[in-house]
Structure 1
Amino acid sequence: MYIADVSTEKRLYCGHTGTYYRWERAGRRIYDNNLFSNTTSEVLTLSNVDRNDNGIYRCEYYHNGWQPADFYLVVKDTRLPMIYLPSNQYVAVVGAVVRLKCTFGQTIPKTTAAWWTKFNNGLYMNLSGSDDQKYLGSFQSIQLNLFSVTERDSGEYRCNGQTKNGQNFLATQLMIGNKPQPPATGKPIINVMVGMEVTLSCIPQFAKTNLTSLWWGKKWYDDFPSINYKNKNKYSGGNLSTPNLTIKQVHSSDAADYRCNVANIFGTSYVESKVVIGRAPSVRVYKRVHNPVIGDPVTLDCVFTYADKFCWKRVKNGQEEPVDTARTSGESTQSLTIQSVEQQDDGEYRCYGSNDISTANSAITVLSGHPPVVNISKDCYVLRVGDNVTINVIVKHAPMESTINWRQEGNIIYNNTRQAVGELRNPFLTIRNVELKDAGNYTLFVKNKYGNNSGFTVLKVIYIPLVTTTTTKVEVNKGVDTVLFCSHDSNPTPTHVYWTKNGVNISAHETTKYNGSTIESPSLVIYDTGTSDSGTYVCSVSNKLGFGYSKPLQLVIRDTLSSERKEYSYKTPLIITLSVIVIILFFVGLMVCYKRRQRNISHYENPDVKQGDVHRYSTARNVDEYDLPNQTDDNNTVGTTGSLDDRNEHNETRSFMVPEFLKLLNEKDKYTRQVQLEFKNLSESVNPCHSGSEYHNETTSLMKHNNPASNTTYQNTTLTIKEVCTFIL
């Protein structure tokens, strides 16, 4: 504040260094005239000061833009009221409360009135409520209160006083406005490597009131002290002319929060940025070539580290171009998905990941195609034993790198003396000299890089019946009933069973002498045998392919012994024999119990039985296990035939001698009470060659006809008899 007496000369000094200067009074530009001189220099001269020269003077100097400096000039006149103001300028933000106060000094004559006026539209208007105050003592004061000020309240306010000699006033300037809006920043978090240079952006926003200053601070505990601008080797910029701050040669200690502050006469605003010491991004691709099926979606994955921005490009004709966003998703992520692959989508795709430090990228190739198509020429092949067959196949979409293999019931078929497998371009399967074991399901598996597929067909082998008997000679006593055992295996279904004696057909159904000789019960029952029944018997079975015959079976009839010979023959030897048998059976029983304790389930395995070898059987590992005749060449299966329905009866646990067991095999009712067939790990598949299903595992094939139910047939079935430890007496 400057003080000058009336009718004197007064000089006002700007006090700031600048290239250019200009002066204002009450918001109006001052030019050289009879009252003012040196209006474009650092010092303004007032000639012959008058009391009307009271007020605010502004010096504007140019230094990186025009900068203001305000001064207040007080002109003293002892004849008029002496007025004092605490400040020649008040600054407040919109909505604040402003209190303007002035004090009157002691004068002669005394001040008798005081009031406030505001300069508005070129006129000074009295403010209501301030002109009726009277002051009788010295140094009295008045105060003007303004509530919830707005920008319209800005302007020059005068505190007026009056003595009997006249009036005097002192003016102050009130400026109402807003503090600047917070500046913007390009990025709130910036990653940088040690040793690099980083620039923190600060973008001041538009403000009605000019900014007076801009500076940067670095966080230290809870405060943001100003950075050391004098360190030119570390910092540059960060001021009104260059708001962005550049940090050179970044050190780990530079990792911190930074604040860009902007200020005007009404206040300060700021924006914060964070510097993080980071690393350059890297990328890994786990699958560089994708082979999707046309029409399916495919997702391309790039795994980035230290990257925060991602994008995908496609390469066409050596040039990068944006991916088709209408058919893809994830273009700005680490994974790009093509929704429905088409041939036109094949090619190279590039993923990019970046941060503030650098950018990493990698390439992925898409090659689409089709899975293989397999068409076998026929769904079913029906063959006779000894025939040759070739299964022809058409395979599509199987390039050279594709693989094929033929399988029968899950087992891979390799080239051998009877079977030949074609190559990929012609993947046929030829079977020469077809055998019974060749019957079953055949599948061709084809696999390429787009998927796999298979074709399925059934090979059915038909043959004349295989007929077997249990022995080649039977001796029985005269007058007893005799059973000549016969069993058969046939595909197709057998039509008739015949027995001949000495080459002559037996009419088993036309006399009460015989029973059996049917498909269901092929064994021949002879009642009340006599000497005339002796002879050579043959069992024959027919189907639509022809007849099958058993080996001849000789029946010998013995006369019964007289009672005296019986008594003589059996009395003494019988006692000795029974004693020996009891002792032997005791030790045998102990051995059997021990072995059966180790194994709860015994399996019956077959020897190799050929057509016509009807009398052959052999003893297995102990007295309770027997090899049963089989009608196939597969050493791992036992052939049984006939209706084996209604298997829900309780298992009896006992042992069997050979003749008794073989007899049970051909007597269904007793068989079902004594023996249980078990089928382990079976899976079902529909056989198109007939109405029915096939159940199979690695060693078992179970064929079931749905119509008629009475002809249900189980083929090549592993036979298991559950036993407990028993003695044979």
Structure 2
Amino acid sequence: MACDTGYLEEGEITIARPARASQCCVNLATPTYQGLPQVTLHAVIGQTVVLPCKPSGYPPPRVTWNLPITASRYHTSSAGLTIKGVVATDDHIYRCTVTNIFGHKVKVINLSVTEPLSVNVTTSATNHTEGVPGTITLTCRYRGIPDPSVKWLHIGPLGKTQSVTSGISTSVTTGPISKSYVSTLTLKDPNIFAAGTYICQVSNAAEQKHDNVSITIYAKPRVVTPPMTQTVMEGSNVTLRCKVVGYPPPAITWEFPQSQGHPPFNARLNPDQTVTLMAVDEFNEGEYKCVAKNRYGTDEGSGTITVIKPVRIQVTSQVNSLKGAPAIALDCHASGDPAPTVSWSKLDGTLNRSNPRYILLPNGDFILTSITPATMEGDSGVYKCTATNGVTTTYMLSVVYMDMGRLNCSTTFQECSTKKGVACG
């Protein structure tokens, strides 16, 4: 009996060994290969990669591959399929089929081809003068595998980063190795707010890269955020800011109220062109104006400061005896800006303001009239004077008490109660 030793065809490999007739039947084996039946390999554009498929069996198996294209870069051997200079179209699911007279077996190899991202941004011009017709074209060339996506970002003259969504066109070209992409951003008649840094950000499932270019716009100043109009407490510190755009960078000067334009004594001019008012008072009230100027023009903005004074009160007598007094005046003087209102209450009970014995004067004084021994217990207590101007609130207490007279060691306490405002031993 003779054994078939196999054969060689184009695009296929055969491993042939002469066999002795006496060993032929002993060596018969179904076709197989080394390794797992399904594997995934990764390759970078330009690399050489070997797809392993080493056959075994007897008669020696015939090996065939399903190739995406016919190319001289593909080489078969007993170790597998070698691909030289990997390109994008080599990304493919390859099947290695080993066959002899006893059947066939298939090994699946998924080759994933990647290309590192690359990105480059160029511009038709790096500067422009506002008001002069013209167009600046930013071009972002990029490539990579898996297919990348592109995004434009703009860091404006105020430092804020925003996505750019208009004026963009993107094209793709398929080359012999991989795809190349071009994204174009067009700035038509750009003004000062188009100045800043433009970022072309490219990303895919594997990585992210970017490149950027800066654009300068020569323009007159614009006050985009004038000094804030605000109400502040007397004695506090206030910093006034004037946010300006323009190029060349504008110089900022300040005009002050109540001082013929000169800085008041408590004003500090800061290196960042802001102004700090230390321990403000009523003389700092008024309009503050910032003026921005460069060689292309001038702009200005203003804001008003209103200074308020915290409420302060003074109760002239905080302890008051009812003894022998037909009336008691509780004086409460309040000041502040805006002018405060004064009200009275009683901590240990309700103050009946409809009682004709109680008189509240416009200046804030509270008078208890028609005091008799019968009213003393009800009149005694802790009275609270509260002053408020809608911004701050404060209060003071005044005690009105019923004097029980001089006490000695034999005085008993059966006549005393625990009521507030009653003096007893």
Identify, as 1 or 2, the structure richer in helix.
1
Identify, as 1 or 2, the structure richer in strand.
2
Same fold (TM over 0.5): no
**TM bin (shorter chain):** 0.3 to 0.5
Taking structure 2 as the reference length, what is the TM-score of the superposition? 0.39
